[in-house]
């Protein structure tokens, strides 16, 4: 399998992209720069939840709606397939079968123990923390519950609801072809990852997460399992403060177009999806990113369905 690098852009309006439980569930922030932060764990949770909706077996998941530890999760999996698993005679074939069941381990890796022996899988798919390209303003609103905090209390309880006004977020990720051999990740798994990156966030909205929308997903697949060019977010400029909606975002395409052009002989396919609302600019022309790229680069694009 070849290496890939990922660029994922999405925005968040009047919502909480990733609450910090150590800070009253405020959106995670770098307060020195006023940049909004989102952990890689939060992004992986969107992907896992989407895969679960598709009926895929997961290692990091509940069991029958109940939170369980890692050992209990494996026990529940093994119990459903007693004809496949005999832990007394654990071997490479059983380990391979286990990996074939657990798509999130094939993608993201895991540390687990079977018969007291650690099994360590470093996932071929890794994400950085996401950050906003624009300085973000926080809002805090007082909310009231109509349910009393105690049975004898007549008055409801009060709390804070923290949200960002508008955050335009960028994630960078890598796919290692060599690590894929260790976990058994397949091309079909990668296609499901592409699908989840585009569809998961809007389909899995909750009260605190509604208001988010994917804007661009690009997986740059190289011709080998050695190439990694580095964080593609470095080709994007900082955006100004005061943004409130996607119509106000204009991304210069010159640097990302130039990098794609220079790397053309190392690129196999550009797996590409973009929301029509995101506008780019190049040489006084405005439009979708793919419309601003050279013909040679566009020939490498394989469009994904949103």
* pLDDT of res. 231: 98
For residue 201, is it within any domain? yes
Calpha distance 277→288 (Å, rounded): 9
Task: Tell me how far apart the 2 most distant CA atoms of the chain are, in Å.
Answer: 72
Q: Which helix (H) or strand (E) holds 164?
A: strand 156-175
Report the half-sphere exposure of 100 (CA within 13 A, side-chain side).
7
* pLDDT of res. 74: 79
For residue 70, is it within any domain? no
Calpha distance 201→46 (Å, rounded): 6
For residue 225, is it within any domain? yes
* pLDDT of res. 90: 77
* pLDDT of res. 75: 81
Number of domains forming the structure of the chain: 1
For residue 222, is it within any domain? yes
* pLDDT of res. 223: 98
The 3 state secondary structure assigned to 194-221 is: HHHHHHHHHHCCCCCCCCEEEEEEEEEE
Least Cα distance to 289 among 256, 240, 261, 267 occurs for 256
Per the structure, the complete domain to which residue 214 belongs is given by 4-56+125-303
For residue 111, is it within any domain? no
* pLDDT of res. 37: 98
Residue by residue, pLDDT tens for the chain (306 residues) are: 999 999 999 999 999 999 999 988 999 999 999 999 999 999 999 999 999 999 999 998 866 566 667 677 778 888 887 777 776 777 888 889 999 999 999 999 998 877 667 889 999 999 999 999 999 999 987 554 444 555 555 555 556 889 999 999 999 999 999 999 999 999 999 999 999 999 999 998 887 788 999 999 999 999 999 999 999 999 999 999 999 999 999 999 999 999 999 999 999 999 999 999 999 999 999 999 999 999 999 999 999 998
Calpha distance 93→74 (Å, rounded): 16
For residue 15, is it within any domain? yes
Calpha distance 302→186 (Å, rounded): 18
* pLDDT of res. 12: 97
For residue 139, is it within any domain? yes
For residue 137, is it within any domain? yes
Q: Which phi and psi (to 5°) does residue 214 adopt?
A: -70, 145
Pairing of strands 125-127, 138-148: unpaired
Calpha distance 73→64 (Å, rounded): 10
The structure tokens listed for 223 are 């011709």
């Amino acid at each position: 399998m070849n290496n890939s690098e990922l660029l994922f852009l999405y925005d968040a309006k009047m919502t909480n992209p990733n609450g910090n439980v150590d800070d009253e569930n405020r959106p995670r922030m770098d307060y020195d720069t006023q940049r909004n932060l989102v952990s890689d764990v939060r992004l992986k949770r969107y992907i896992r939840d989407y895969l679960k909706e598709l009926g895929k077996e997961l290692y990091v998941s509940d069991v029958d709606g109940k939170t369980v530890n890692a050992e209990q999760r494996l026990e529940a999996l093994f119990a459903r397939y007693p004809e496949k698993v005999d832990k007394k005679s654990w071997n490479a074939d059983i380990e391979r079968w286990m990996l074939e069941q657990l798509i999130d381990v094939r993608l993201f890796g895991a540390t687990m123990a079977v018969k007291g022996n650690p099994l360590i899988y470093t996932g071929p798919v890794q994400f950085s923390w996401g950050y906003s390209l624009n300085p973000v303003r926080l809002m805090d609103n007082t909310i009231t519950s109509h349910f009393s905090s105690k049975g004898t209390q007549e008055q409801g309880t009060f709390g804070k609801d923290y949200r960002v006004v508008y955050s335009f977020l960028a994630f960078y990720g890598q796919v290692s072809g060599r690590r894929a051999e260790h976990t058994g990740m397949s091309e079909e798994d990668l296609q499901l990852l592409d699908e989840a990156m585009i569809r998961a966030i809007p389909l899995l909205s909750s009260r605190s997460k509604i208001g988010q929308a994917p804007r661009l997903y690009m997986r740059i697949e190289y011709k080998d399992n050695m190439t990694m060019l580095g964080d593609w977010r470095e080709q994007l400029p900082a955006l100004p403060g005061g943004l409130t909606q996607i119509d106000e975002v204009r991304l210069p395409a010159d640097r990302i177009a130039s990098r794609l052009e220079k790397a053309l002989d190392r690129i196999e396919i550009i797996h590409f999806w973009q929301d029509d609302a995101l506008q780019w600019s190049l040489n006084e022309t405005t439009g979708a990113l793919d419309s601003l790229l050279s013909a040679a680069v566009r020939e490498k694009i394989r469009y994904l369905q949103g």
